[in-house]
Chain A
């Protein structure tokens, strides 16, 4: 049986797809056979972030509709043989997905994969609902910013009432906080909500903090998941997150502003 992880946030632009690509790659690189699914029907972008946009032939909707087999639609990642990508359809609308269709695909993937990462679209409509519906674990990507925190809380409410686990009275989805685009120096100046603030408001266990980083844009420009940039702080943050998720004891990093006077003077990543 595979473990199904949803990467969700409610709000758009907080780093869901970046996170999905990074953690799927991280899990696969640790030797776990992993599939990552783009649930953003009509606005697919995971393929672009993973750098496989020119290899998309069939998509998630084709599989749901029986127009292609799962085997035909899955794209094997060029960097890691344990990682497969299931792209969303770019031409259909979001109503093309159905609960039954998604369930069938997830069940089939569960037979051979260890982890299934569901990249949720923004919002709380059908795509977002289906992305979280079957989840075992939820990675709630939040920026230290009022609208993102509020939307994350809304998403948590939906997961506790509208997921399969909630509807069937099973053990609830395990929810984790991933605080992204964090700037310790701005927190220090009182300009940004701190990790503790966000944790206090959302009352979620912290899986990791991803610092605001120039390397994230560089990675998406190149279509290489940020976790493969081992020199970057954001890449290391995601590697820590994957390790923590798998039960390794990793102390939290990137929470304190470590740069000294000279560091600030000359800048950093």
Chain B
């Protein structure tokens, strides 16, 4: 086994897999930590409003909050059902 092979195998070790998974997860959880606390409630109320007009599922609505140095973005994503008065699903 060459030296190069040694490095190749160590790349796919379970430890590096663990590190990669953790880095993604921890980064995600840290951003959601700084989300405003009203977000779940907002999602619920928005869902109720949408449901007055269209029959959508709980998971058809997605609210995301992002923050960088300059701005805060509230992203709202609603997937409407296909048979909604002939309208196409809208993002």
Interfacial residues, chain A to chain B (CB-CB below 8 A): 145-146, 149-150, 153-154, 157, 161, 187, 189-194, 197, 200-202
Contacts and interface: CB of A to CB of B under 8 A. Distances in A.
Given A154-B29, A157-B30, A193 B19 contact: yes
B22 A201 contact: yes
Interface of B: 9-10, 13-16, 18-19, 21-23, 25-26, 29-30, 33
Contacts of B13: 189-191
Given A146-B22, A149-B22, A201-B22, A192 B29 contact: no
Q: Would you call the interface of chain B mostly helix, strand, loop, or mixed?
A: helix
Contact of A146 (B9, B16, B18, B29): B18
Contacts of A197: 15, 18-19
> Lowest 9 A-B CB distances belong to which pairs?
A190-B13, A197-B19, A157-B33, A190-B15, A153-B26, A190-B10, A146-B18, A201-B22, A193-B15
Contacts of A194: 15
A142 B22 CA distance: 14
B21 to A, nearest CB: 7
Contact of B26 (A145, A189, A191, A201): A201
Contacts of A187: 15
Contacts of B10: 190
